[in-house]
Amino acid sequence: MKAYRIAALAVAASLMSALAYAQAKPEQQIEYRQSAMTVTARSVGVLSAMAKGDIPFNKDVAQQHAALIASISDLPLTAGAFGPGTDKGAPTKADPKVWSEADKFKAGYDKFIQAAKAMPAAAVDQKSLQAALGNLGKTCKGCHDDYRQK
């Protein structure tokens, strides 16, 4: 009986720490979304260089960057990095409209996720990469125009 209670307590404690992690502080959420954007942008830059022919197309490298863009794309949203209360707490360029137009913002984000998840299938040759990157780039710009301050 006692052992059972201790085991139950241990499970409860680990659930609580998982919850604490999910409830990251606003400054951690801001840092997380900015980092995700930074990492995404670097990979987009490498793929753009390949699409333009500035560097030779390399399928293995292209696949690696495309997979990163795809897998990281929805994490800021699901982690609550643009959630309520993350409008301040650290320096941020996110426009207040992210929260006042939350539905519209999410719709823009969903378009981005869709374009990002299409990247791995497209990063197989230069031509399909160009087309997919064009789509992806439109979703970055579309959102930044409205929701990211200069």
Site residues (vs ligand HEC, CB under 6 A): 30, 33-34, 37-38, 40-41, 44, 92-94, 98, 105, 108-109, 112, 136, 139-140, 143-144, 147-148
Cβ(12)–Cβ(71) below 8 Å? no
Distance, in Å, from the CA atom of 40 to the CA atom of 7, rounded to the nearest integer, reads 41
Nearer to ligand HEC, 19 or 145 (CB): 145
Radius of gyration of the chain (CA): 19
Nearer to ligand HEC, 59 or 144 (CB): 144
* Least distance in angstroms from the C-beta of 77 to ligand HEC: 8
Cβ(99)–Cβ(87) below 8 Å? yes
Distance, in Å, from the CA atom of 7 to the CA atom of 100, rounded to the nearest integer, reads 45
Nearer to ligand HEC, 59 or 117 (CB): 117
Block residue for tokens 């200069």: 150
Q: How far is CA 90 from CA 26, 30, 37, 99, in A?
A: 8, 7, 16, 16
Nearer to ligand HEC, 113 or 124 (CB): 113
* Least distance in angstroms from the C-beta of 104 to ligand HEC: 10
Nearer to ligand HEC, 24 or 37 (CB): 37
Six-digit token string for 101: 């137009």
88 CB contacts (<8 Å, ≥6 apart)?
Answer: 26
* Least distance in angstroms from the C-beta of 12 to ligand HEC: 34
